[in-house]
Amino acid sequence: MLSDTTILVALGGNALAPSAALGTVTEQFAQTRAAMDLIMPFIRQGYRLAITHGNGPQVGDELLRVELAADRVPPLPLGLCVAATQGTMGYMIEQSLQNALLDEDIHRDVVSLITQVLVDEHDPALERPDKFIGERYSRDKARQFADRYGWRIAEQEAGVWRRVVPSPRPVRINNARSIKHLVGMGSIVIASGGGGIPAYVMANGHFEGVDAVIDKDLAAAILGADIGAQEMYILTDVPEVYLDFRTDHQRPLRRMTVAEAQAHLDAGQFPTGSMGPKMEAAIQFIRQGGRKVVLTNTESIAKALVGESGTSVYD
């Protein structure tokens, strides 16, 4: 029996890779299969379900393939690399989850969609490329690539140069109507992988890709709202969110209102590189009509689903 509640789960790209180094495809498949233990509790409860996922290590690998082959094979721009990882990771998640469902004699389709995510062409972030992607280079080598491919580059640490791209805010998930329809009929939908393929709407109404990356948790918040999900689970690397994190008076937060979450965020409690965007995503999801967001880690997600772990954000 399907529940009336729709849940969106946002997996980190590292939940699907064996370690920071991505490992072989066999290892990635093994890790992806293991990650399905995080998803199955939601399905056993009969929830309507969508899944989104990061792609950091995976798109890094694809960028490197493109670059190493650039003299022989026309390079793929960043948006097409994201599209490629939506294909490869979508397939791995889809097949792994399908097999886990078969083991429990559950008959629901698992469907992976290629997803464009719309950003605002006037987003000021588009003028401030500050997200490091791809390989590390010497200054000279980085400049060569910059000249050749029109990259923007920046020094990440002394002597280490990398490509930088903007990270605009997601505004709308393309095909949300179709995704909602599939989720409504009980299909489990994998969408908006890697934060989605960034695109904007030109003056003539056409969609056009843009070389950028979108934060996958912020994209998840929009996806959740656009498909009418009531709850969102965001996987992170801690079982609960803490105040005064990594100080000697750090303390877990089990439950917050949106107003409290916003106040803690404004007070600088959540670092911009990690918990900050996740908390922003949580706040946005609730403000757009969501009922609950739970932030937790892979070890605690099953307990979080029954309210025994994790940090919940409510209206």
Task: Give the active site residues.
Answer: 13-14, 131, 216, 278
d(CA 202, CA 121): 8
Contact positions with its own copies (CB under 8 A) in 26-65: 28, 61-62, 64-65
Q: Of 3, 37, 109, 255, which one interacts with its own copies (CB under 8 A)?
A: 109
> In angstroms, what is the C-alpha Rg of the chain?
19
Residue 198's Cβ-count burial label (10 Å; 0-12, 13-18, 19+) is: buried
- 254: which strand partners? none
The sign one gets for the Cα dihedral 91, 15, 21, 131 is positive
Chain mean position to CA 164: 19
Contact flag: residue 206 with its own copies (CB under 8 A): yes
- The answer to whether residue 240 forms part of the interface with its own copies (CB under 8 A) is no
116 scored as a contact of its own copies (CB under 8 A): yes
Which of 120, 131, 154, 175 touches its own copies (CB under 8 A)? Answer: 175
Q: Which is nearer to its own copies, 179 or 304 (CB)?
A: 179
19, 185, 237, 263: which one contacts its own copies (CB under 8 A)?
185
Question: For its own copies, which residue of 7, 8, 153, 197 counts as binding (CB under 8 A)?
Answer: 197
Which residues in 245-269 are b (16+ Cβ under 10 Å) and which e?
eeeeeeeebeebebeebbebbeeeb
Residue 107 to residue 223: CA distance in whole angstroms: 24
* Amino acid (1-letter code) at residue 8: L
Closest CA to 16 of 71, 67, 92, 82: 92
- Between 67 and 106, how does the x/- string for binding to its own copies read (CB under 8 A)? -xx--xxxxxx-xx--xxxxxx-xxx-xx--xx--xx---
Binding residues for its own copies, rule CB under 8 A, total: 56
Q: Least separation, in Å, of the C-beta of 164 and its own copies?
A: 21
Residues at the site binding its own copies, with contacts judged by CB under 8 A: 22-25, 28, 61-62, 64-66, 68-69, 72-77, 79-80, 83-88, 90-92, 94-95, 98-99, 102-103, 109-114, 116, 174-175, 177-178, 181-182, 185, 187, 197, 199, 205-207, 209
